[in-house]
Amino acid sequence: MPDSKTEKDKPEEDKIEKGWEYYKKVNKALTGLFEILTMNFSEEDLFYKCGVDNLTQLKEVILDLLTHDYNPSEIKRKLRDLEFDMKKCLFFSSDEDKEEHEKEEKGDTPY
């Protein structure tokens, strides 16, 4: 007969293992981005410094998310907001395009 404590701990261990796998993937991606910065910019370059600052902040946020027990639905909502904001930046090249899209979303267009 299997030990009931072991059976109960297994899902938690699986979650922890999955979390560490995600952490490894994120760490590898951040390291890759840092390598790209170092290949393309000198350490004195403003873009290099800004890129490193952003990567550092991103890593701190990810570590914070992994080490604290935040409400998963709140995190999902914030990530969706972030994804939407990023897509908006990618698809609308000028401020005028962004303003026009925001008006359309609100229903403020004259047509």
How far from chain centre, in Å, is Cα 11? 25
pLDDT tens track, the chain, 111 positions = 455 556 566 777 887 788 788 888 888 998 999 999 999 999 999 999 999 999 888 888 877 777 777 778 877 887 888 777 777 777 765 556 556 656 666 665 454
Per-domain boundaries in the chain: 16-69, 70-111
Q: What is the pLDDT of residue 108?
A: 56
pTM of the model: 0.53
Tell me the one-letter amino acid at 38: T
Q: What is the pLDDT of residue 1?
A: 47
Alpha helix segments (H runs only) across 1-111: 4-40, 46-67, 72-91, 95-106
